[in-house]
A = this chain, B = another copy of it.
Amino acid sequence: MRLSSLADYAVVMMSAAARHCGSIRLNATLLADETGLPLPTVQKLVSKLSGAGLIESTRGTGGGFRLSRPPAAISLADIVEAIEGPIAMTSCVDTGKHDCAVEGSCRVKPHMGTVNGAVRGALAGVTLAQLSAQAPVPAVAEHA
């Protein structure tokens, strides 16, 4: 019930990338230096995000990458799915996996679909544009 560290890192990295909206060339080294994340980790994330189509990367000396869509069109769900794969709370939700012992008479499965949709909706409701905004959050009291 916790998204992986890599997905977490990816969100931080993409958020930092969104702040460089104007500059064309971004590279892994720059973002690693900026976010404090290890360079190899950032490189790995670049590979995955590029494969998912969220960023467009070019190799070579003058290479680098940039967001393939404007920040407002990239949601947390996109990033999480790019790193972790489809959002599915239980393996039941994925089609084709049927190792559940009570497959036939499982009452839990349909409700999990509902929960799953709620989770995905919550993630899809937050865009990179919101994350890269300066400081729109008015002193959240958190879970005091």
Whole-angstrom distance between the alpha carbons of A113 and B108 in the complex? 27
Cβ-neighbour of A2 out of B90, B132, B140 (below 8 A): B90
24 contacts between A and B (CB under 8 A): A1-B7, A1-B88, A1-B119, A2-B84, A3-B89, A3-B90, A8-B91, A8-B92, A11-B108, A12-B100, A15-B108, A95-B143, A107-B132, A108-B131, A110-B137, A110-B140, A111-B126, A113-B140, A114-B122, A115-B126, A118-B118, A118-B119, A118-B125, A122-B122
Known pairs A114-B122, A118-B122 / 10 extra A-B pairs, C-beta < 8 Å:
A1-B80, A8-B92, A12-B106, A15-B108, A35-B101, A35-B102, A113-B140, A115-B126, A118-B118, A119-B122
Residues of A within 8 A of B (CB): 1-5, 7-8, 11-12, 15-16, 35-37, 76, 80, 84, 87-92, 95, 100-102, 106-108, 110-111, 113-115, 118-119, 121-123, 125-126, 130-133, 135, 137, 140, 142-143
